[in-house]
Chain A
Amino acid sequence: MEIPYIVDARPDTGLHNCKLGIWLFLASEVMLFGALFSTYIILRTGAVEWPFGELNVWLGMANTFILIGSSVTMVMAWASLKLNDFGKHRLYLIGTFVLAGIFLVNKYFEYADHVTRGELPSHSTFLAVYYTMTGLHGLHIVGGMVVMAYLLGPGAKMWKTRPDQFSNRIEATGLYWHFVDLVWIFLFPVLYLL
């Protein structure tokens, strides 16, 4: 039995299964990060004093540029597939994967710097919030990299047999990746600048 709406959009919703699934997942992610941002606001407004200038703004800014760049390479990976250029698609997807890796390396150096100064989550409420939010965001970056590695490796075979379904998978990955980037667009000013 053929599963319906894998490739074509369902007429009443205008969505295929893959897109509906990823948006339901992203809705749950909005609730997760929304709860964390709300917690941050409550803790910060309730605090007598809140530390400022404890984080490396320049490293955070570099990571912002890296993630904006990775969103461009991700959307280009999808657009290349739509133009039937599988070679370019792979190059752009590898580019996205590499940029994600650079982001994590920067994050490692940032964490290592804090740890060597004894600034662990137990040190202050600010650092607890910082490690929780950036740590969870970092895990999402790792998750995206795992999916991209699959689509660059064994998952790429689908392009030869079911190209439309493969394009849908890349689009869903792109939506997830843009969400992860969007979380950083809010995290950076909230934790590093304000």
Chain B
Amino acid sequence: MSLKAFHLLFIALSVVLAIFVAAWAVGQYRLEHETLYLATSIVAVATSGSLVAYGAMFRRKTRNL
């Protein structure tokens, strides 16, 4: 496996982690009603979206490498 492919796999797993963190933060918010957890879940969802966009851009830009 090349570094390019391994990087894309890593980004994909990071997306999964970001979604998991969002779900965890929502669970904590339901338990403790702290705004910090709600903000964390929003940031985690935004991070997962950004990582998907980055992965697509990386794949496109390194097609010829």
Contact = CB atoms under 8 A, between A and B. Distances in A.
Contacts of B7: 71, 75, 174, 178
A27 B27 CA distance: 36
A34 to B, nearest CB: 16
A64 B17 contact: yes
Given A64-B17, A178-B10, A182-B10, 12 more contacts: A68-B14, A72-B54, A75-B3, A75-B7, A171-B3, A174-B3, A175-B1, A175-B3, A178-B3, A178-B7, A188-B17, A193-B21
Given A68-B14, A79-B65, A82-B65, A189 B20 contact: yes
Interface string A80-102: 00110000000000000000000
Interface in A86-137: none
Interface of A is mostly: helix
B3 A185 contact: no
Interface residues of A, number: 21
B39 to A, nearest CB: 12
29 contacts: A23-B1, A68-B14, A71-B7, A71-B10, A71-B11, A72-B54, A75-B3, A75-B4, A78-B3, A79-B65, A82-B65, A83-B65, A171-B2, A174-B6, A175-B1, A175-B6, A178-B3, A178-B6, A178-B7, A178-B10, A181-B10, A185-B10, A185-B17, A188-B17, A189-B17, A189-B20, A189-B21, A189-B24, A193-B21
B49 to A, nearest CB: 14
Interchain residue pairs A-B with the least CB separation, the first 6? A174-B3, A75-B7, A171-B3, A82-B65, A193-B24, A178-B6
A171 B65 CA distance: 12
